Amino acid sequence: MPSLRDTSDLISAVRENAVDKPAEEAVIHVHDPEQEDGHTSLTYAELDRRARRLAVYLRQHLAAGERALLQYSSGTDFPVAFFGCVYAGVIAVPAPLPESNQREQLRVKGIVRDADVRAVLTSTTQLDQVAAWAEAEQLTGLLLLATDGEEVAATGTEGWEHPAVDRATPVMLQYTSGSTSEPKGAVITHGNLLHNIQAMKDALPLPDGGRHGGWIPMHHDMGLIGHLLGGVLTGRSAVLMPPMTFVRRPHLWLRAVERYDVKYSCAPNFAYALLNDRVTDQQLATLDLSSWRYAGNGSEPIQARTLRAFSERFRLAGLRPASVATGYGMAEATLLVASATHRPPLTLRVDPEALEQHRIVRAGPAEDRYRELVSCGSLFDIEAIIVAPDSGERLPDGRIGEIWLRGESVAHGYWNNEPATRQTFEATTQDGDTGFLRTGDLGAFVDGDLFITGRIKETLFMHGRNLYPQDIEHEVQRQHSELRSLPGAAFTVPAGPGGTSAEDLVITQEIRGRFSEAELTRISTGIKQTVSREFGLPVASVALLRPGAVHRTTSGKIQRVAMRRLFLGNGLRPLHLDGPPSSAQPA
C-alpha cells in the first residue's frame, strides 16, 4: 500500500484496500472477547459497499459540505456512518449519545447549534432516545436517521460518485472539551488525517497483521483516529470494544488485545491505574500480552507510578517493557504530536523549586524532595517550539513555556469562529515567525524529549510561586490510601477576609465507601497536612465528594475550571467540607 502522504483523500485509501483485500476484516466489533462468537465484523468490501449506499441516501437529503451529527453507542454502525459521510462529502460531527448527564446534553446541544447540524445519524436502537432529546432541547428541523434502517438498506449503490474532494477538504469537526455554551470545533481535513496517521505508521512500524483497537469511544480522537481510522486506512484493521465493557470488566480490554492480535491500543492514564487495581491474579495468570507492541498512555497527565506498576505487574503476562509507551496530542493537531516508542518510558526526578520557576533541573540522587516528570517522547513529523506565552520569545531546552505547533497535522482553525482561529492558530513569535498553533499546554524539551508540566489556565500562582495542580492532587492521592485511583481537583479562589494571600487554595477530592463524620474529618485534616508538609502551602477548604462528582472530559482530564466555578457558586454538594464555603461570585 502506498504512503498515505501520496493519497488524495480518505475514500481512495479505503477503496484501495477494498480492491486489494476485499475479504479481509476492516472493522471487528467485540461484544465479549472470552466468547467464541463474541464479535461481529465488516470486511473492506462490505465497508466500502455500505458506505457508498449510505452516501447515496445522504445526498438525497444533504448537500456536500453540510454537517451530520453522529451519535452511536457501539458496534459497526458508527464506522459505516462515518465513512458514509466521507463518501457523500458530508462533514461528520462525532458526539456522545444524550445520556442522563445534563452537562453532556448541554454540550451536545451547543455543538448542534455551533456546527449548524442538518442531520443526526444514529442506530434504530437509539433513534427514539435521540428523537426525545432533540424534541426536549427544541432542536427543530433536523433529519433524524437510523443508518441501519430499512430505507437505507433499500438504497442502491449505482448512483454513487466519488465526490469532488482533496486533501484540503474538511472531513469532520472535532469538538474540544471546553465551555458547554461556546464549543469550538477543530476543522479536520483529509490531509490532516492522512498525514497524522502516516506519521504514526512511520514511527510505529508493526508486524504484518497487527491491528489497532481498544475501547475508547468514537467521539474521542484517540478512539476515532488512533483505533478506527488508524487501523482501517493503513490496512491493518480496527478492533472496537464498547467503553462500558471495559468499565465493568477491565480485564476484557487485555483479553481483546490478546485474542484479536491488537498491536496498537491506547488509553488515558486512569485506565491503566484501573487495570493495576482491578485485574485479579487469577485473570492475570490467563493472559498473554507478549504480542502487544504499543500500549499507549496519553490524553491526560501521565503518572510515573502508574507506568511502573503496569509494566511490572503485566510483565508476568508477557508484556514487554518497551511496549509501554507515552504520548502527547490534541484535537487541534488531529491526534498525535509526540510519543516515546521502542523503549521504556523516560522519567526525570526534578528540583521542585526550579519547577516553580519554570525550569527543569534534575534533582540530585540524594535529594529527598523532588517531582517526577514523564517524557512524552519525540515529535511525530511536526514542528514544535517552546515559547514564553506573554512575549512570544523562543525558550531553550530545559525552560518551561507554552508549546506551539506547526505542520500538516494542525487543523484548519475552528469552525465558523474567526476570532478564536486567529488567537489560537495564527500565533507569531517575538522574532516574527508565524502560523503556529498555541496549545495552551506548558512543557519543555530535554535532550530531544518533550515533557508536559501543565495547562496555562490551570497553573496556580500563590505566595510568588508557580505550582501545577496535578502535582498537589497526585501527592494527596499517593499519601492517602482511601483516595487512590480517585480523581480530585486543586484550584485557587479569591481569598476570604483576613487571608494572607490574594488567593485561597481549595482541594476537591472524590472518596468511595462509607465513612463516619469523624473519619471524614480525619481524612480532610490529613489532606491539609500533606499539602502543608510537601508544598509549604495552607489549604483553605477541602471538599470530599461522592464518586463521579469531579468533572472530567470524555478522555478523563480533570476539568478544574469547571470545578472552581461550581465551588464559587456553592454547587458542589460535598459529603464533607473542611473550611469555609465560598461567598464569592463565580468568575
3-state secondary structure 468-514: CHHHHHHHHHHHCHHHCCCCEEEEEEECCCCCCCCEEEEEEEECCCC
- Residue 555 — very low, low, confident or very high, per pLDDT cuts 50/70/90? low
Residue 553 predicted with pLDDT over 70: yes
Cα separation of 289 and 253, whole Å?
11
> Which residue intervals of the chain bear CATH 2.30.38.10?
339-453
User: What DSSP state is assigned to residue 219?
Assistant: T
Cα separation of 73 and 126, whole Å?
8
Angle of CA points 211, 217, 221, to nearest 5°: 75
Higher pLDDT, 585 or 336: 336
The total of other beta-carbon atoms located within 10 Å of residue 435's CB is 13
Q: What does the pLDDT look like over 292-349, one tens digit per residue?
A: 999 999 888 898 999 999 999 999 999 999 999 999 999 999 999 999 888 888 999 9
Taking residues 208-230, what's their average pLDDT?
A: 93
- Residue 501 — very low, low, confident or very high, per pLDDT cuts 50/70/90? low
Please, are residues 207 and 293 in contact by the beta-carbon 8 Å criterion?
Answer: yes
What does pTM read for this prediction? Answer: 0.88
Q: Give me the pLDDT at residue 76, please.
A: 94
Q: What does the pLDDT look like over 278-295, one tens digit per residue?
A: 999 999 999 999 999 999
What is the CATH code of the structural domain delimited by 459-578?
A: 3.30.300.30
Q: Give me the pLDDT at residue 491, please.
A: 93
The residue whose grid cell reads 523532588 is 370
- What residue type is assigned to position 172 of the chain? M
Cα separation of 259 and 35, whole Å?
10
Q: What does the pLDDT look like over 36-85, one tens digit per residue?
A: 889 999 999 999 999 999 999 999 999 999 999 999 988 899 999 999 99
Cα separation of 425 and 406, whole Å?
9
Q: Give me the pLDDT at residue 103, please.
A: 72
Higher pLDDT, 468 or 497: 468
Cα separation of 230 and 129, whole Å?
30
Taking residues 6-32, what's their average pLDDT?
A: 96
Q: Give me the pLDDT at residue 497, please.
A: 58
Residue 496 predicted with pLDDT over 70: no
Residue 407 predicted with pLDDT over 60: yes
Residue 552 predicted with pLDDT over 90: no
Please, are residues 91 and 67 in contact by the beta-carbon 8 Å criterion?
Answer: yes
Residue 499 predicted with pLDDT over 60: no
Taking residues 166-178, what's their average pLDDT?
A: 90
Q: Give me the pLDDT at residue 179, please.
A: 54
The residue whose grid cell reads 483516529 is 225
Q: Give me the pLDDT at residue 585, please.
A: 37
Residue 272 predicted with pLDDT over 70: yes
User: What DSSP state is assigned to residue 418?
Assistant: H
Report the candidate in 146, 102, 90 with the shortest Cα–Cα distance to residue 120: 146
- Residue 35 — very low, low, confident or very high, per pLDDT cuts 50/70/90? very high
- What three-state secondary structure class fits 328? strand
Across the chain, mean pLDDT equals 92
Environment class of residue 366 by beta-carbon count within 10 Å: exposed (0-12), middle (13-18) or buried (19+)? Answer: exposed
Percent of the chain with pLDDT over 90: 75
Percent of the chain with pLDDT over 70: 96
Cell of 364: 540530585
- What residue type is assigned to position 544 of the chain? L
Q: Does domain 339-453 have CATH number 3.40.50.300?
A: no
> Which residue intervals of the chain bear CATH 3.40.50.12780?
4-20+44-203+216-232
Q: Give me the pLDDT at residue 339, please.
A: 94
First and final CA of the chain: distance in angstroms? 53
Residue 208 predicted with pLDDT over 90: no
Q: What does the pLDDT look like over 360-396, one tens digit per residue?
A: 999 988 778 888 999 999 999 999 999 999 999 999 9
Q: What does the pLDDT look like over 442-480, one tens digit per residue?
A: 999 999 999 999 888 888 888 778 888 988 998 999 899
Please, are residues 476 and 540 in contact by the beta-carbon 8 Å criterion?
Answer: no
- Residue 400 — very low, low, confident or very high, per pLDDT cuts 50/70/90? very high
Q: Where are the alpha helices (DSSP H) in 60-181?
A: 77-88, 102-115, 127-136, 150-153
Please, are residues 50 and 80 in contact by the beta-carbon 8 Å criterion?
Answer: yes
What is the CATH code of the structural domain delimited by 4-20+44-203+216-232?
A: 3.40.50.12780
Cα separation of 297 and 152, whole Å?
39
Please, are residues 227 and 257 in contact by the beta-carbon 8 Å criterion?
Answer: no
> Which residue intervals of the chain bear CATH 3.30.300.30?
459-578
